[in-house]
Chains A and B, each alone.
Chain A
Amino acid sequence: MQSTRNKLIKLLAASKDDYISGQLLSEKLNISRSAIWKHMEKLKKDGYEIEGKSNQGYRMIRLPDKLSENTVQWGLNTQWIGKSIIHKTSTPSTQIIAHQAAQNDALHGTVVIADEQTSGRGRMSRQWHSTKQKGIWLSLILRPNISPYLAPQLTLLTATVLADVIYSVTKIRPQIKWPNDILMHSKKTAGILTEMQAEQDQIQYVVIGMGINVNQAKNDFPDIIQKKATSLKIETNQTWDIVKLIQEILVTFEQSYDTYIKNGFPHIKNKWESYGFKIGKTIWVKTLQEEFKAIFSGIAEDGALLIKTIQGETKQLYSGEINWFQKEE
């Protein structure tokens, strides 16, 4: 069903401005002309503009910029990511949908996308502003065959994927604030939230949630976060095609993930450090017991934050509040 529709879209796209007859389409796809007509109606609902003329046939006028299972899947050049896509026009959070799907045996590589999240969340249920059709709100279900204690590396991997995509499309080099916030000119452009269900020695599933600010204007953000948040549009003065960006992210993620499973973390570590925010600079680390300043020296072989204290001691941090923006005294 899905593939027939994709073939149909390809045929229409290939013939560009010329009409292609219903007869020819029905022969090529090996379905009846009334089935073709039904497919056309579905495509129109997804936002494709298709012109039908009697005696001439069909012609596609415009591809939709609208999100849907079809628009994301069409032209998506991946082996396993996005073979199954769940699209919601509005949802409280793509993470919630992804968890439900994963518990109902959703496939490795299933993608959940939404035009809008009404209560998108970040760390510790902090709110994430997910304005309608202005950004990418996406959750990815993975079932990696790795030990649960290695899974945090996937969040660093995801950060390098987003940084690569943003860099390749905008030509502006973003930075990654440990472990996985994407910054452009020191302002947050994208965030990642990963959640896992695992037993002691086996992962059931991981849901990687990504929120990317794409086409927001400055006043789309609430006042309090205007100073901290930015979007691709604010940084580039350009509106970006959300569907194309999603496809780019999925393709890049698949390549990077496959390499990680095959070769481990080293290449991710190098890439991460090439984007690393404040490497070699002073940061303030806050733990339950104390607050101290230290030099951020890079990340460890397992992705942990490496710091060097004033006493010259090297420490690894897996978690904790870090003040990245405090001015040097």
Chain B
Amino acid sequence: MLNMDEIREIIKLIDQSSIDEFTYETSGATISMKKNENTVSQTPEKEVHKKVQSADTPSLVDIKPEIQEEPKEEQTEIKIDYDYEIVSPMVGTLYSAPSPEREAYVTVGSKVEKDSIVCIVEAMKLFNEIEAEVKGEIVEILVEDGELVEYGQPLFRVKTK
């Protein structure tokens, strides 16, 4: 998984490129970046690109104004307070606790290990104990106890350590 510095590096590189959209996928986690600009801003960027090509030696001055503008927007667009999503491996009902009287396996702020159980997904009385599969902290819970979840649906967001 990518760390913050690497994500920043990617944002920088994408800023400097003509790429409008970028998706990075790894074991269950996805990072999507999209330049939040319409056609108007795309044109100057292509010009920058052309300039670079024609000038052979890229001039930093040419692209700098764009970098200064964009990172702010992109930082809000990709939620960088998590870097891993735990997804459901099957259709079924989600249970956040081992039984109704017991406490939930995890809450926001819970520290998890790779083999920590975060919830149960049940279908046709098969109970699948979902493990975190990463070490980190639960930063967001996307589902409720008793909710029906789909195959591949994100359940928890984790900030890995």
Which A residues contact B (CB, under 8 angstroms)?
123-126, 148-149, 151-156, 178-180, 192-201, 206, 287-288, 303-304, 318-320
Q: How many whole Å from B130's CB to the nearest CB in chain A? A: 9
Residues of B near A198 (CB, < 8 A) are: 89, 128
Find residues 84-138 in chain B having any chain A CB closer than 8 Å to their own CB: 87, 89-93, 95, 98-100, 102, 122-129, 131, 133
Does residue B151 face the partner (Cβ distance < 8 Å to A)?
A: yes
Contact pick for A193, options B91, B92, B125, CB 8 Å: B125
Q: How many whole Å from B51's CB to the nearest CB in chain A? A: 45
Given contacts A148-B90, A318-B93, contact A194 B146 (CB under 8 A): no
Q: How many whole Å from B158's CB to the nearest CB in chain A? A: 15
Contact pick for A194, options B89, B92, B127, CB 8 Å: B127
* Contact present for B125 and A180 (CB under 8 Å): yes
Nearest chain-B residue to A148 (Cβ)?
Answer: B89
Given contacts A125-B98, A196-B127, A288-B147, contact A319 B89 (CB under 8 A): no
* Contact present for A156 and B124 (CB under 8 Å): yes
* Contact present for A199 and B133 (CB under 8 Å): yes
Given contacts A124-B100, A125-B99, contact A152 B89 (CB under 8 A): no
Nearest chain-B residue to A150 (Cβ)?
Answer: B90
Residues of A near B95 (CB, < 8 A) are: 124
User: What is the CA–CA distance of A123 and B131 in the complex, to the nearest angstrom?
Assistant: 19
Does residue B148 face the partner (Cβ distance < 8 Å to A)?
A: yes
* Contact present for B99 and A124 (CB under 8 Å): yes
Q: Which of A154, A180, A198 has the most CB of B within 10 A?
A: A198
User: What is the CA–CA distance of A287 and B147 in the complex, to the nearest angstrom?
Assistant: 9
Q: How many whole Å from A19's CB to the nearest CB in chain B? A: 52
Residues of B near A155 (CB, < 8 A) are: 124-126
Does residue B28 face the partner (Cβ distance < 8 Å to A)?
A: yes
* Contact present for B129 and A319 (CB under 8 Å): no
Q: Report 20 cross-chain contacts, Cβ distance below 8 Å, ordered by A residue.
A: A123-B127, A124-B99, A151-B90, A152-B124, A152-B125, A153-B124, A156-B124, A178-B124, A179-B125, A196-B128, A197-B128, A197-B129, A199-B89, A206-B126, A287-B148, A288-B147, A318-B91, A318-B93, A319-B122, A320-B93
Residues of A near B89 (CB, < 8 A) are: 148-149, 198-201
Q: How many whole Å from A194's CB to the nearest CB in chain B? A: 4
Residues of A near B122 (CB, < 8 A) are: 319
* Contact present for A318 and B125 (CB under 8 Å): no
Nearest chain-A residue to B91 (Cβ)?
Answer: A318
User: What is the CA–CA distance of A206 and B128 in the complex, to the nearest angstrom?
Assistant: 9
User: What is the CA–CA distance of A248 and B89 in the complex, to the nearest angstrom?
Assistant: 33
Nearest chain-B residue to A196 (Cβ)?
Answer: B128
User: What is the CA–CA distance of A155 and B131 in the complex, to the nearest angstrom?
Assistant: 21
User: What is the CA–CA distance of A201 and B102 in the complex, to the nearest angstrom?
Assistant: 29
* Contact present for B129 and A196 (CB under 8 Å): yes
* Contact present for B146 and A288 (CB under 8 Å): yes
Residues of B near A201 (CB, < 8 A) are: 89
* Contact present for B91 and A149 (CB under 8 Å): yes
